Structure 1
Amino acid sequence: MSELQQEEGLAGSAADWPKALFYVALLFSIYQIVMAAFHPVSSQVLRAGHVGFLLMVVFLYFPAGGNGRPWQPLAWVLALAGMGTAFYQWYFEADLIQRSGDLTTLDFAVGVLLIALVFEAARRVMGIALPIICAIFLAYGLLGQYLPGDLAHRGYGIDQMVNQLAFGTEGLYGTPTYVSATYIFLFILFGAFLEQAGMIKLFTDFAMGLFGHKLGGPAKVSVVSSALMGTITGSGVANVVTTGQFTIPLMKRFGYKAAFAGGVEATSSMGSQMMPPVMGAVAFIMAETINVPFIEVAKAALIPALLYFGSVFWMVHLEAKRANLKGLPKEECPSAMAA
């Protein structure tokens, strides 16, 4: 579990974070709440600030080499540079609108810096593959006119590409960033508040009370608690980290093979991304892209999500019956109503 938390970075305990990161995350949360409540800035500046804070969090937490802690002087240089690009968008917003794509030398430098920082942040979080793929597409935009046949296009200058990516709402500040800044972050924050208020224990105790004493009870508890957790997290990884540390050892204790126990928890947790009302980030992007209310996407996902968890639950029941895996003694299970 500790290895999984290390891989997930911020999924680990806040006590393990660099101290400054806690205050950055706190300011990030306050920024998002104020933006949502009062709308004091334009959509462009909102997105830029969101990306700026994300870059700060990444560079202060994820090391360049993938192990240990970031070297703090470099981490702060990169973090402040990332926030500096957001400040630039806010301070020169009127000038950027008036220039409307006619970049100055300083605009161009800030745009290139932002692209480079996003590439480096993606490398630290996701690995080298994603930046390489993105670099190939950028190279195609710059050099595609030299390719043969149908692969060729009319060609784009580097200033055009920088303007498209770093200034405006169709590049790095496009629809996914807008959805993240206006919806996803707030739902994640809401889920974190519920988690700290004891919702994980509530969901686990409720599932234990209903199914813990049944045939294959521990695995059924994993499925039901993951479904309930999915309603507030929308994240498969967060679900595994929170419920898995309890349900996986419990399943192994009652005779499930380690691989099967891990598989049940992983499969159940991945359903979080389709479990209304939060679901995964794609659901918010989908609603914004096809221009329908998010509630309609959530309603459409409800039946498939229930079928998904129902299928996993039935598979667990059949495996428990085949292997004759009993549940917990009823006296060890909490009352579902009391939970």
Structure 2
Amino acid sequence: MKVMQLLPELNSGGVERGTLEIARALVTAGHESLVVSNGGRMVAQLEAEGSTHLTLAIHKKALSSLWQIRPLRKLIEQHQPDIVHVRSRVPAWLTHFALKGIPANKRPHLISTVHGFYSINRYSQIMTQAEKVIAVSDSVVKYITDNYKNCPTEDIVRIYRGIDPAAFPHGYQPSAQWLNQTLKDFPELENKRLICLPGRITRLKGHETLIHLMEQLQAQYPDVHAVVVGGADPKKAAYLQEMQDSIAAKGLSDRITFVGHRSDIREWLAFSDLVLSLSSQAETFGRTVLEALSVGTPVIGWNRGGVAEILSNVYPQGLVTVDDETQLLDTLKLHLDQPQHVQPISMFSLKEMCDQTLELYTQVVSQHSA
């Protein structure tokens, strides 16, 4: 099989990582893998793992992107993939128009993945207009069936995102070298119990809730320290400053550390005693929650979206009623007073995700060639 995946760019993020994982699985299984995007820092890895990258400016939410329809059609005609797999709305629209210009008997099969709870409108509807629509969690299946009645339920396929348990082994401990360097960079973390909030600095990730929790914990738990693992986009600099001012005003500057954007997330999740998931909007999956639980660190999070699906299957004692800050504080205190054990995880594996996706590709191709 020859599969062409389309996404805006290849810099960082869950969609990008998923694209690379499926590309690698295709190559490993002896198929041909093509990826079309505007490029980015993950291209080198993609190509090193045996895929072909085709650079096309399909990343801008602007009318000028319509100029890419003809070049995209040319790429599809030239490479003749069996399947085109779109993972984002601009590429999905461009593909929609590109395929219109190809005779029906020469068109590849079209698959889409709904990675997000997109705004509900005609623009987003394009993600549900494919032969098969992959949803990354049951919450996403519900989002599609509730909002896009034009999408037949039999065309929706739930394939959970997955992680590689070998990359996040149960009981993992950071190296002595990592610990020494970290305590050198952040001496305030020594001999502390750490509560970690992973995720980039935006209003959606629940930083204010974390600050409020730390305020309530400071008298009773002087050894508890919060770590925010995630960078701030230059556009979010004002929000970061606002948070730091609020932390200083509450006298918490020596209790909360921002470590910025990190590529050693596994180490931070394993180093922490507890991980929080406090996003103010439902997440479609919640990969860091799964990564934390995989290494054996307990996670406490709001009971909604993909995070609730992971916690209810793997660590139900971490579920907290949405926005119930009293229950959140009580659950946190319970974990601090009686450290909890997380069992090794047997579901949500990367292998399952790749196997199910490749199986779907094969099914779509063979159904129609039969």
User: By percentage of residues, which structure has more helix?
Assistant: 1
TM range (shorter): under 0.3
Structure possessing the higher radius of gyration over alpha carbons: 1
Highest RCO, 1 vs 2 (Cα 8 Å, sep ≥ 6):
1
Whose strand fraction is larger, Structure 1's or Structure 2's? Answer: 2
Q: TM-score, normalised by structure 2?
A: 0.26
Give the TM-score taking structure 1 as reference length: 0.27
